[in-house]
A and B are shown apart, each in its own frame.
Chain A
Amino acid sequence: MELKEKLITSFFELENKGTIDLDSNIHQIRSKAFTDFETKGFPTKKNEEWKYTSLKSVLNQDYTVFPKGENVLELKEVRKYFIHEIDSYKIVFIDGIYSSFLSETTHDGMDICLMSSALKKPKYKIIIDHYFNTIANKNESITSLNTAFSNQGAYIHIPKNTIVPKPIQIIHFATKNDENLLLQPRNLIVVDENSHVQIIERHQSLSDEVVLSNSVTEIFANKKAIIDYYKIQNDTKNASLIDQTFVQQKDHSVVSVNTFSFGGKLTRNLLEFHQNGERIESNLNGITFINNKQHVDNHTLVKHNKPNCVSNELYKGIYADSATGVFNGKVIVDKIAQKTNAFQQNNNILIGKKASINSKPQLEIFADDVKCSHGCTIGQLDEMALFYMQQRGISKQEATGLLLYAFGNDVVEKIKIPELKSRITKLIAQKLGVKLGF
């Protein structure tokens, strides 16, 4: 049976299971999204947004939509996937099911909890009705698919004037299953006026089994809110991730989303920023470092809807072996968004003989008093620099490692959690096969 048909029957199964409220507003949104997916189907390469990424190899598998039972993981098995050096709130899912044992949630002054309970309990209704699915891309059929099945994920609501004392980690584990897993987590993050939060998100498969995660996160930053969001993507060779993040910002807010793509079979990141206020700062950073036949597609959109806003975008890519990369950076400046500063940079190094990159930095500007620029480079390591280092007794491998590390360092430096920074440094060093003694 084709995956699409399977999903259609699964949707009816979901409706009949009795675990969700069929009369709620949310279910109306689900049904609408489902019809949308049903008509459009999965995106193909004919779709301009999917021109360079084919989902064929991912979709021709058979997936289990609803995992059978709860799997238990020992903390020591998975400890290394957490940033365990620091205290943090944790929301952990195992095969799509919430693990209360590994998690650490709170309702004390803020809500760091589960989507499923937030959807059910009346006290969250106002927030859910006000925000849920308001900024998710309605044209993207794969986003609609997530919306149709949205039930589980993280729900974070930080009220006014609150600084969340420790970072929040959202981790999705996939354990060894006999069947291929399709996970569709749905996260909602609302940060109210003058509050600050740091979030780390990770999708991790614990085996070489086939896993497909279709994740959607909606982030709302109200006035003067500050959000730092980190995505660690270092999955196993048969795990694929379609990650969609939608951010809406109000006046004076600062949101940074940092994406670290180090592995997985196919990774597709869609990141959209909608600036609906003045004097906003949006930061989009990313490092992609992949090898073998891995594929990473970074799709970003920044919509400047109001005047006096800033956006900074910096994506670096290192592609080894036969890895393929895609960068599509779109910046749209509305007619009224005068005094916009939009900066975008995409640098790529191809080290693999069969590696390739498709880059499409795109500017659409309708206002005149703006400063917008984009730069894109594709190249290799500087032979002279390599030679210089070898002359001084540094092995070629180490020299290459150092230079590549330096290449990605601009992005690493932007990490504001020191423990995470050293973790990312270690991950890069590991990938480079060198020791970095700093």
Chain B
Amino acid sequence: MNKYTEDDLKKELETQEYEYGFYSELDSETFPKGLNESIIRAISKEKEEPKWMTEWRLDAFKIWQEMEEPEWANVHYKKPDFQAISYYSAPKKKEKLDSLDQVDAELLKMYAKLGISVNEQKRMNNVAMDIVVDSVSVATTFKKTLAEKGILFMPISEAIQEHPELVKKYLGTIVPKKDNFYAALNSAVFTDGSFCYIPKGVHCPMELSTYFRINEGGTGQFERTLLIADKGSYVSYLEGCTAPSRDENQLHAAVVELIALDDAEIKYSTVQNWYPGNSEGKGGVFNFVTKRALCEKNAKVSWTQVETGSAVTWKYPSCILKGDNSVGEFYSIAVTNNFQQADTGTKMIHLGKNTKSTIISKGVSAGKSQNSYRGLVQIGARAQNARNFTQCDSLLMGNECGAHTFPYIECKNNSAQLEHEATTSKIGEDQLFYCNQRGIDTEKAIALIVNGFSKEVLNKLPMEFAVEARKLLEISLEGSVG
């Protein structure tokens, strides 16, 4: 038997194909390339938005024009040409759909390929789904069941029409228009996304989920998610993404805003699997995302992310722990391969008393990839008894990749307790040897070790997603995870 070595694994990793790289022939409507005021007006008109929304977008566009693209991240890429992107692309619909049966057959086929059958999902899993293709939301399931509980779960474009008071009140409060370059861009051109409102004291009976898919070429995806958990409510939210294999770099610049009012709890899980580019580093999605949560008194927000895709990732899901006793958590696995670059981490801003945060970040780099953790833990002067625990571990495979950590710790209160630890290592030869001794072949042993390495994070994912995440790890590091 040929011995399976790390070199073999490396080779497999390099040649591993992106499974979701197909392109579906959907009849779609795409705006001409370029960005200017009239495009924004056109998007707004297409969405039949009220005037305040149009104004809001134009204002964001003005801010964006004055901003410069950030360069501080530890990633290198050719900057996207913002005039060469089409800012709106939608699968063409003849009329508004009443039920899922009327969804385009091609679309359903595409979802079957992705492993998400909308119908099946409806029957089997207790998951409500919102599906976003290119720029617009195409299907939302379980709307009725949720409505009985008073839960609003719908595309944000609908929410702007139906619940303008809620959208107006919260949109842009957590991630302001001028927050950063991509957030401003998103505010100007976002076309769809999910909106969710959990009323007071309601425990959302099922997982809410959004599936994002970039299908058309030459487009960018700019979705906006707004999730409000009112006092004492609970919700678990899942997000997944894929894109076809293309030689060009596609831009994905999303904004996610979470608001957890007093005693509420939000669990937000992401499995990000945008097309990472081919083994020469050509193509792939630029994933520049702003995600932020606000925690009021006793609220809890937990971010869990599995990052396997995208050519370049730039993403820092954050928690503003404003209320006393609020809790923020961040669990992340970032796997990079070939020429992928990831600069990801979190920010925990402690403002209230007795606030707690936990950060567990695991990075696996293979091929020629660069994987960075960048995090900020900030303890404000009034944050008495704040507590933070941070752990970031990196695993390196091969000597052409890199793992970096850039933690910022700022403490202005003397009652705070902070711990930070980070390690970097490769799979130990002694660990492998130990497994081999016990009759476990090297491939399985590597699988075992990588699995164990990421277990702390995988365990935090909801059941349905844990399976998918495990599968994704397999794809990203095929041969290593069994």
CB proximity to A under 8 Å, residues B397-451: 397-426
Q: Output the nearest chain A residue to B72 by Cβ-Cβ distance.
A: A48
Q: Is the CB of B411 within 8 A of A356?
A: yes
Q: Is the CB of B408 within 8 A of A360?
A: yes
Q: Report the minimum CB–CB distance from A323 to chain B (whole Å).
A: 11
Q: Output the nearest chain A residue to B386 by Cβ-Cβ distance.
A: A378
Q: Cβ of B413: which chain A residues have Cβ within 8 Å of it?
A: 350, 356
CB-CB under 8 A for A368 and B405, given A358-B410, A373-B423: no
B396 interfacial by beta-carbon distance below 8 Å? yes
Q: Cβ of A352: which chain B residues have Cβ within 8 Å of it?
A: 414
Q: Output the nearest chain A residue to B402 by Cβ-Cβ distance.
A: A366
A372 interfacial by beta-carbon distance below 8 Å? yes
Interface residue from B396, B412, B424 paired with A373 (Cβ < 8 Å): B424
Q: Cβ of B418: which chain A residues have Cβ within 8 Å of it?
A: 376-379
A199 interfacial by beta-carbon distance below 8 Å? no
Q: Is the CB of A365 within 8 A of B403?
A: yes
Q: Cβ of B408: which chain A residues have Cβ within 8 Å of it?
A: 358-360
CB proximity to B under 8 Å, residues A323-372: 335, 338, 348, 350-372
Q: Is the CB of B399 within 8 A of A377?
A: no
Q: Report the minimum CB–CB distance from A274 to chain B (whole Å).
A: 19
Q: Report the minimum CB–CB distance from A367 to chain B (whole Å).
A: 5
Q: Cβ of A379: which chain B residues have Cβ within 8 Å of it?
A: 416-419
* Interface-central residue, B402, B407, B410, B424, by most chain A CB under 10 Å: B424
Q: Cβ of A380: which chain B residues have Cβ within 8 Å of it?
A: 414-415, 417
Interface residue from A48, A338, A370, A376 paired with B424 (Cβ < 8 Å): A370
How far is B401's CA from A246's CA once the two chains are assembled, in angstroms? 28
Produce 1/0 per residue, A171-211, CB < 8 A to B: 00000000000000000000000000000000000000000
Produce 1/0 per residue, B372-406, CB < 8 A to A: 00000000010000000000001011111111111
How far is B419's CA from A423's CA once the two chains are assembled, in angstroms? 32
Q: Cβ of B421: which chain A residues have Cβ within 8 Å of it?
A: 373-376
Produce 1/0 per residue, A137-180, CB < 8 A to B: 00000000000000000000000000000000000000000000
Q: Output the nearest chain A residue to B403 by Cβ-Cβ distance.
A: A365
Q: Report the minimum CB–CB distance from B381 to chain A (whole Å).
A: 8
Q: Is the CB of A338 within 8 A of B396?
A: no
Q: Is the CB of B414 within 8 A of A374?
A: no
Q: Cβ of B419: which chain A residues have Cβ within 8 Å of it?
A: 375-377, 379
Q: Cβ of B423: which chain A residues have Cβ within 8 Å of it?
A: 371-373
Q: Report the minimum CB–CB distance from B373 to chain A (whole Å).
A: 9
Q: Is the CB of B394 within 8 A of A365?
A: yes
The interface size bin for chain B is 20 to 34
Q: Is the CB of A338 within 8 A of B399?
A: yes
CB-CB under 8 A for A362 and B399, given A371-B425, A377-B419: no
Produce 1/0 per residue, A368-400, CB < 8 A to B: 111111111111100000000000000000000
Q: Cβ of A48: which chain B residues have Cβ within 8 Å of it?
A: 72
Q: Output the nearest chain B residue to A51 by Cβ-Cβ distance.
A: B408
Q: Is the CB of B414 within 8 A of A368?
A: no
Interface residue from A360, A373, A378 paired with B407 (Cβ < 8 Å): A360
Q: Is the CB of A362 within 8 A of B405?
A: yes
Q: Output the nearest chain B residue to A357 by Cβ-Cβ distance.
A: B411
CB-CB under 8 A for A375 and B424, given A48-B72, A350-B411, A356-B412: no
Q: Report the minimum CB–CB distance from A279 to chain B (whole Å).
A: 19
Q: Is the CB of B399 within 8 A of A353?
A: no
CB-CB under 8 A for A374 and B422, given A335-B399, A338-B399, A365-B396: yes
Q: Is the CB of B420 within 8 A of A362?
A: no
Interface residue from B394, B397, B417 paired with A378 (Cβ < 8 Å): B417
Q: Is the CB of B399 within 8 A of A376?
A: no
CB-CB under 8 A for A362 and B406, given A370-B424, A375-B420: yes
CB-CB under 8 A for A360 and B399, given A374-B421, A374-B422: no
Q: Cβ of A360: which chain B residues have Cβ within 8 Å of it?
A: 406-409
Q: Is the CB of A363 within 8 A of B424?
A: yes
Interface residue from A359, A363, A366 paired with B422 (Cβ < 8 Å): A363
Q: Is the CB of B409 within 8 A of A378?
A: yes
* Interface-central residue, A338, A353, A360, A363, by most chain B CB under 10 Å: A363
CB-CB under 8 A for A369 and B400, given A48-B72, A356-B411, A378-B411: no
Interface residue from B404, B416, B426 paired with A363 (Cβ < 8 Å): B404
Q: Cβ of A355: which chain B residues have Cβ within 8 Å of it?
A: 414
Q: Cβ of B409: which chain A residues have Cβ within 8 Å of it?
A: 357-360, 376, 378
Q: Output the nearest chain A residue to B404 by Cβ-Cβ distance.
A: A364
CB-CB under 8 A for A365 and B422, given A378-B409, A378-B411, A380-B415: no
CB proximity to B under 8 Å, residues A35-81: 48, 52
Produce 1/0 per residue, A9-51, CB < 8 A to B: 0000000000000000000000000000000000000001000
Q: Cβ of B398: which chain A residues have Cβ within 8 Å of it?
A: 368
CB-CB under 8 A for A335 and B400, given A361-B422, A373-B423: yes
Q: Cβ of B407: which chain A residues have Cβ within 8 Å of it?
A: 359-362, 376
Q: Output the nearest chain B residue to A362 by Cβ-Cβ distance.
A: B406
Q: Report the minimum CB–CB distance from B250 to chain A (whole Å).
A: 29
How far is B378's CA from A358's CA once the two chains are assembled, in angstroms? 9
Q: Is the CB of B425 within 8 A of A370?
A: yes
How far is B395's CA from A371's CA once the two chains are assembled, in angstroms? 10
* Interface-central residue, B394, B398, B399, B401, by most chain A CB under 10 Å: B399
Q: Output the nearest chain A residue to B424 by Cβ-Cβ distance.
A: A372
Q: Report the minimum CB–CB distance from B243 to chain A (whole Å).
A: 29
Q: Cβ of A368: which chain B residues have Cβ within 8 Å of it?
A: 396-399, 401, 426
Q: Report the minimum CB–CB distance from B223 to chain A (whole Å).
A: 32
Q: Output the nearest chain B residue to A355 by Cβ-Cβ distance.
A: B414
Q: Cβ of B415: which chain A residues have Cβ within 8 Å of it?
A: 380
Q: Report the minimum CB–CB distance from B91 to chain A (whole Å).
A: 44
Produce 1/0 per residue, B107-120, CB < 8 A to A: 00000000000000
How far is B379's CA from A354's CA once the two chains are assembled, in angstroms? 12
Q: Output the nearest chain B residue to A345 by Cβ-Cβ distance.
A: B421
Q: Output the nearest chain A residue to B420 by Cβ-Cβ distance.
A: A376
Q: Output the nearest chain B residue to A356 by Cβ-Cβ distance.
A: B412
Q: Cβ of B425: which chain A residues have Cβ within 8 Å of it?
A: 370-372
Interface residue from B381, B401, B411 paired with A358 (Cβ < 8 Å): B411
Q: Report the minimum CB–CB distance from A318 to chain B (whole Å).
A: 11
Q: Is the CB of B422 within 8 A of A351?
A: no
Q: Is the CB of B414 within 8 A of A353?
A: yes
Q: Output the nearest chain B residue to A360 by Cβ-Cβ distance.
A: B408
Q: Report the minimum CB–CB distance from B347 to chain A (whole Å).
A: 14
How far is B422's CA from A365's CA once the two chains are assembled, in angstroms? 12
Q: Output the nearest chain B residue to A52 by Cβ-Cβ distance.
A: B410
Q: Cβ of A362: which chain B residues have Cβ within 8 Å of it?
A: 404-407
How far is B426's CA from A48's CA once the two chains are assembled, in angstroms? 30
CB proximity to A under 8 Å, residues B260-277: none
Q: Is the CB of B416 within 8 A of A361?
A: no
Q: Cβ of A353: which chain B residues have Cβ within 8 Å of it?
A: 414
How far is B9's CA from A368's CA once the two chains are assembled, in angstroms? 15
How far is B425's CA from A369's CA once the two chains are assembled, in angstroms? 7
Q: Is the CB of B402 within 8 A of A373?
A: no
Q: List 30 A-B contacts (CB under 8 A).
A: A350-B411, A354-B381, A356-B381, A356-B411, A356-B413, A357-B409, A357-B410, A358-B409, A359-B411, A360-B406, A361-B407, A361-B420, A361-B422, A362-B405, A362-B407, A363-B424, A368-B396, A370-B425, A371-B424, A373-B421, A373-B423, A374-B422, A375-B419, A375-B421, A376-B407, A376-B420, A377-B419, A377-B420, A378-B417, A379-B417
Additional 6 contacts, C-beta under 8 A, given A362-B405, A378-B417: A358-B410, A362-B404, A374-B422, A375-B419, A377-B420, A378-B418
Residues of A within 8 A of B (CB): 48, 52, 335, 338, 348, 350-380
Rank and list the top 7 A-B pairs by shortest CB-CB distance, nearest first.
A350-B414, A368-B396, A376-B420, A378-B418, A359-B409, A356-B412, A372-B424
